[in-house]
């Protein structure tokens, strides 16, 4: 999901004490080039977030999503190797 950010919904903050509800984290694919959504054995959609401490995989319904702001998107594309 290139160009997408997510943050923890306030009602799920207690489940993820290491994550802040006010910080938008970058959504990272599980494997490079994978565009399909990942699900667990219960059929719940999962999302992988990039944090300061590394990567965290959370249930997608515990998150709010937004497109990457255009200024950050252009910076990310400029720094990406071709």
**Token pair 């994550």 in the structure block, residue:** 19
State whether the Cα torsion 16-22-23-28 is positive or negative: positive
Given this model, what pLDDT does residue 36 score? Answer: 65
| pLDDT at res. 29 | 82
Tally of structural domains, the chain: 1
Q: What is the pLDDT of residues 8-30, one digit of tens each?
A: 999 999 999 999 999 999 998 87
Interval 38-71: pLDDT, tens: 888 998 999 999 999 999 999 999 999 999 887 7
Q: pTM of the prediction? A: 0.74
Domain that holds residue 67: 4-79
Label residue 33 left, alpha or beta by phi (over 0 means left) and psi (-120 to 50 means alpha): left
């Amino acid at each position: 999901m290139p160009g997408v950010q997510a943050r923890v919904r306030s009602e799920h903050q207690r489940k993820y004490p290491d994550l802040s509800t006010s910080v938008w984290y970058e959504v990272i694919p599980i494997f490079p080039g994978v565009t399909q959504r990942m699900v667990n054995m219960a059929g719940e959609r999962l999302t992988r977030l990039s944090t300061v401490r590394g990567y965290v995989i959370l249930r997608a319904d515990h998150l709010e999503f937004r497109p990457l702001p255009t200024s950050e998107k252009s910076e990310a594309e400029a720094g990406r190797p071709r």
